[in-house]
Amino acid sequence: MKNKVVVVTGASSGIGKACAWYFAKNGSKVILAARSLEKLEIIYKEMISQGYEVLVVKSDVSIESDCKDLISKTITRFNRIDVLINNAGISMRATLEEMDLSVIKKVMDVNFYGTVFCTKYALPYLLQSNGSVVGVSSIAGYKGLPGRTAYSASKFAIHGLLESLRLENLKKGLHVLIACPGFTASNIRNTALSKDGMIQKESPRDESKMMTAEMVAEYIYYAVLKRQNSLVLTFNGKLTVLLNKFFPKLVDRLVYNHLKEEPNSPF
């Protein structure tokens, strides 16, 4: 990854921030993209002070023109793209019965269309470099989660998009990785949307017992290096995916009971 040009969306916190640091420490040139320019500038100054080559681009991935601008500024500065990490995402917590439909649209705009827009505009350059497209997905892209209808739908959509993209470019040298971290300690649950679209602010889960964002970043780095097709993390995540292939009804009950135990669960 030395001197490779790596674009990371959602780079202001969590897995995106951790990926940016890990790739930079391994010699990559990193483009930090997120909505919060203030947070990006703090990371930028820290990285520059350590001698890393970094570019900051304020981007809302739900806006197509922002994604086009992100790729354009990357090419202007570095003249190539080797890795695109589609990490930007939001979550939600509500049943479909209670949820305002605007929540589904917002989640799909960020999670799914953000991946579509960035990948579409980066694709010509990734094909030139035999590069990598990474979708930071979730176990929710393998198994629908109750109370996470919009989130699960967006992740299933990302899986379909990226699997199709891989096959379309099977003979063109493009690497496509679908990375599913499982529950990770980050702010995605703090910023998750409630049934009316408001930010829930507090995580319903014990973040201290989860895999860290830094651990996830390391796994993603080596999965890119080895050009893996998929990455499923945590024991529970791997077990869920495996059992769901053979005993889907059992997993239905296990997942329901597990999420039912969350504080203020809708179940």
Does the pTM surpass 0.85? The reply is yes
Residue 178 has a pLDDT of: 98
Query: Which domain range does residue 229 map to?
Result: 5-236
Residue 191 has a pLDDT of: 78
Structural domain total, the chain:
1
CB 141 within 8 A of CB 155: yes
Residue 264 has a pLDDT of: 82
Of residues 216, 203, 221, 133, the one with CA closest to residue 173: 133
Residue 90 has a pLDDT of: 95
In a domain, 244, yes or no: no
Q: What is the dihedral of CA 142, 148, 150, 155, to 10 degrees?
A: -30
In a domain, 259, yes or no: no
CA distances from 107 to 60, 63, 81, 102 (A): 13, 13, 27, 9
In a domain, 51, yes or no: yes
Q: What is the pLDDT along the chain (267 residues), one digit of tens a residue?
A: 999 999 999 999 999 999 999 999 999 999 999 999 999 999 999 999 999 999 999 999 999 999 999 999 999 999 999 999 999 999 999 999 999 999 999 999 999 999 999 999 999 999 999 999 999 999 999 999 999 999 999 999 999 999 999 999 999 999 999 999 977 766 665 678 988 888 866 655 555 667 899 999 999 999 999 999 999 999 999 999 999 999 999 999 999 999 999 888 888
In a domain, 194, yes or no: yes
Q: What is the CATH number of the domain that holds 225?
A: 3.40.50.720
The amino acid occupying position 119 is T
In a domain, 88, yes or no: yes
**Active-site amino acid positions:** 151
3-state secondary structure 169-216: CCCCCCEEEEEECCCEECCCCCCCECCCCCECCCCCCCHHHCEEHHHH
